[in-house]
């Protein structure tokens, strides 16, 4: 058996990200899933770019605020305590709108963990 408690505030934010991103899978010893905590101020986006994953399914659980997720089908507004799920090969760009009145905090879970399967997506190519 194994157990771990991770003080998420002790995990250093990733450098060169458009918002605060704390990668928690490594400190938690997770091997079957990726887990990140994002905190985005108004006008900041979560991922580095509009993208999709070839194999990874993602779930965004909104802890506080409202997350906006742009997709080719339209933009979804995801309030606190709701979950937004993205299937593989489904383009998305998650962000906190510039006119938001507060930051958004999101727990993002991806499985299987996939560092190299993100593909940039250009919505003008549709």
Q: What is the pTM of this model?
A: 0.92
Cα 106 versus chain centre, distance: 7
Q: Is the pLDDT of residue 126 over 80?
A: no
Among the listed residues 124, 87, 27, the one whose alpha carbon sits nearest the alpha carbon of residue 69: 87
What's the CA gap between 50 and 101, in Å, rounded?
Answer: 23
Q: Which two tokens stand for residue 106?
A: 């999101």
Q: Is the pLDDT of residue 120 over 90?
A: no
**Main-chain phi, psi angles of 9, to 5 degrees:** -70, -20
Q: Place 113 in a pLDDT band, splitting at 50, 70 and 90.
A: confident
Mean pLDDT throughout 109-124?
A: 86
What's the CA gap between 77 and 47, in Å, rounded?
Answer: 16
What's the CA gap between 49 and 40, in Å, rounded?
Answer: 14
Does residue 112 have a cis bond before it (omega within 30 degrees)? yes
In this prediction, residue 64 carries a pLDDT of: 98
Mean pLDDT throughout 76-100?
A: 97
pLDDT tens column, 38-57: 999 999 999 888 999 999 99
Q: Taking every pair of C-alpha atoms in the chain, what is the biggest distance, in angstroms?
A: 50
What is the CB-side half-sphere exposure of residue 49 using CA atoms within 13 A? 9
Q: Which two tokens stand for residue 28?
A: 């938690």
């Amino acid at each position: 058996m194994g157990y771990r408690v991770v003080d998420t505030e002790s995990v250093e934010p990733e450098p060169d990200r458009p918002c605060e991103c704390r990668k928690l899978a490594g400190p938690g010893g997770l091997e079957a899933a990726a887990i990140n905590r994002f905190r985005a101020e108004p006008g900041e986006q979560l991922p580095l770019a509009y993208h999709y994953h070839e194999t990874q399914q993602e779930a965004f659980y909104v802890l506080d605020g409202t997350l906006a997720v742009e997709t080719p089908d339209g933009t979804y507004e995801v309030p606190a305590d709701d979950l937004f799920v993205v299937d593989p090969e489904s383009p998305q760009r998650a962000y906190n709108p510039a006119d938001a009145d507060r930051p958004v905090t999101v727990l993002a879970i991806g499985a299987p963990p996939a560092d190299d399967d993100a593909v940039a997506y250009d919505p003008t190519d549709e």
